[in-house]
Structure 1
Amino acid sequence: MRPFRFGAVVREAESGKAWAEKARRLEGAGFDVLLVPDHLVGPRFAPIAALTAAACATDRLRVGTLVFANDFRHPAVLAKEAATLDLLSGGRLEAGIGTGWMAGDYAGAGMALETPGVRVERLQEAIAVLKGLWGDGPFQFEGRHYRIDGLDQWPKPLQRPHPPLVLGGGGPRVLRLAAEQADVVNIGMRVKRDGSGPDRKDGGLEAFLDKLRHVRAAAGDRYAHLELGTSVVQMGGARKAEESWSAVDSSSLDETPQVLLGTHHDIVDKLRYWRDEHDISYFVVHNERDLPIFGPVVEELATARG
């Protein structure tokens, strides 16, 4: 049984000092990972600079993305940036990557939002390039979307063979890719084909359990080595008027570990259930407003980590 791990998505701060203080507060509260998203629109810091600053302000806290949008960077560029960050942080990077999906990002930057199939295929090639460039010696790759001709980058990541690779999603193609290639799988909601937000038809307990079954089947012998996680999008004693990410109604998720309502003990019991019965051991608080509620949960479950 895997130990619990806890992460928090943090998007911005009013200054470098305030950002460093947020990172130190997370570390002091017992969180394991500070995560940033990767979007071109909205009040969000850029990942590489934000994660570097957070790593410099802390000693133990790991830093990562939920997740890099593959379409924003050539994987050779991301491989070098990530390896440098892993080295400078003392081996504390968790490299989350996804296809990119938010229509506003693409429209605002004048980029084409291609079909999910094309984006997943491109992501699959990008993962091969990342792992190859993080390895030893020159790397050669010839794909439909990327071509690498004997490139040997330095520095190499401090974590070997590479930083933990995190893939998240809710669609079957991404979940299959995650099961086959990732170290950490973050189970989420499927997004609409037009990039307008999460698919409201994808909520509910059975849909969540079906994703877990899909990951287990696709992973095969790798399953024992995978870490399974999910994002917590609602917390507290009662439903908040402000809904969860991208304005999706989270009421359909109440039976899943993505919504944690009730008392402190209710939340602790629910997390223990999902870890013990369904192997979900990594929980990410998606909204900063929920951190005061989740802090005592992290403190209580810390003894269950080892």
Structure 2
Amino acid sequence: MTKPFRFGVVAPLRTDPPTWRDRVHRIADSGYSTLLVPDFPQMQPAPGPMLATVAAVTDLRVGTWVYASPLRPAWLTAWEAHSLSLVTEGRFEMGIGTGRPGIEDELRDKGMPAVPPPHERLAQMREAVRALRELDGPDRHTPVAMAVYGPKARELAAELADTVTFALGDQPRGEVERLARDFRTVGEVELALAVPVVGDNVAPHMAPPDTDPAALRAADAMTVLPDDPAAAIEEIQRRREEIGFSYFVFGADVADRFAPVVAELAGH
């Protein structure tokens, strides 16, 4: 079943708070559905206060893109997610994954007692969702977005997630189609695509700083879009038709430029 388009923006706080709030309001006024923040401890304020602020001053949905499961106990992730769902009156979406490349060094730098192997991180994700469902109870359902790649992670997402995104780099279109194929037959699962590169712009906290836009274009990677809005609209429609992606996530630096894309496609 084809899902309507919606669009999110990853908007870390990298300026003074008033400038960031001005950007948040522009994102809301441009028709984006969701404002998202990354989970980079000590590089910006914690996700909870930022997202609660956004929900208080706009009608946007808000979410984490994404919690790194090994950074905190599963019960703490679930408690914060449930709390945000409650104070935003159901506008919070919990994004969660096993951690970005290099998370092992970050955990050691922060004095974590042990670096859990990948299978334990998946278990942490499962436990966080279980604890969230328990806190939500029968009358609340906090949506869960999972960032996955390997077969065991995809299996977990098929079981538990409302939204699935793939942790992509330079994988070509055919490989991404293969990853998405099984999810197109899984009930109501929404397929999301994070696009950190638009033209030559690389979104901070969405891709490594040494990302090469030209190499991504040469590989026909799904992590890049043309910076011309008309060309982007055509390609986004193709990606939904051929692969099933209906939720697209961009970096904040291109949110204004892609406002015509959102105006043309959101909700259709």
One-letter amino acid of the structure 1 residue matched with residue 81 of structure 2: A
Cα offset, 1:73, TM superposition: 2.4
Question: What whole-Å deviation, never above 9, does each CA across 1:167-191 have from its counterpart, x for those lacking one?
Answer: 01222222221111100001222xx
The match for 1:234 is 197
Q: Count residues in correspondence.
A: 260
Q: Which moved more, 1:107-116 or 1:227-236?
A: 107-116
Cα offset, 1:2, TM superposition: 0.9
Q: Is this contact kept in 2: 1:232–1:258, CA < 8 A?
A: yes
Q: 1:301 and 1:10 mapped to 2: Cα distance? A: 21
Instruction: State whether structure 2 residue 188 is matched by structure 1 residue 225.
Output: yes
Cα offset, 1:89, TM superposition: 1.4
Q: Which moved more, 1:266-275 or 1:126-135?
A: 126-135
Q: 2:77 and 2:120 mapped to 1: Cα distance? A: 20
One-letter amino acid of the structure 1 residue matched with residue 167 of structure 2: G
After superposition, the Cα gap between the structure-2 partners of 1:88 and 1:214, relative to the gap in structure 1 and judged at 3 Å, is same
Matched position secondary structure for 2:248: strand
Q: 1:283 and 1:87 mapped to 2: Cα distance? A: 25
Instruction: State whether structure 2 residue 46 is matched by structure 1 residue 55.
Output: no
The match for 1:122 is 124
Q: 2:195 and 2:178 mapped to 1: Cα distance? A: 18
Cα offset, 1:266, TM superposition: 1.4
TM-score by length of 2: 0.87
Greater gyration radius: 1
Q: Is this contact kept in 2: 1:82–1:95, CA < 8 A?
A: yes
Q: Is this contact kept in 2: 1:257–1:270, CA < 8 A?
A: no
Q: Where do 5+ consecutive residues of structure 1 fail to align?
A: 137-159, 190-197
The match for 2:38 is 37
Alignment of 1:129-278 (within 5 A): 129-136=131-138, 160-189=139-168, 203-216=171-184, 223-236=186-199, 239=200, 245-246=207-208, 247-251=210-214, 253-254=216-217, 255-261=220-226, 263-278=228-243
Matched position secondary structure for 2:94: strand
Q: 2:52 and 2:19 mapped to 1: Cα distance? A: 14
Matched position secondary structure for 1:133: helix
Query: Among the aligned pairs, what percent are the same residue?
Result: 33
Cα RMSD, aligned residues only: 2.4
Q: Is this contact kept in 1: 2:196–2:224, CA < 8 A?
A: yes
Cα offset, 1:214, TM superposition: 4.3
Cα offset, 1:256, TM superposition: 4.0
Cα offset, 1:253, TM superposition: 4.0
One-letter amino acid of the structure 1 residue matched with residue 259 of structure 2: G
TM-score by length of 1: 0.77
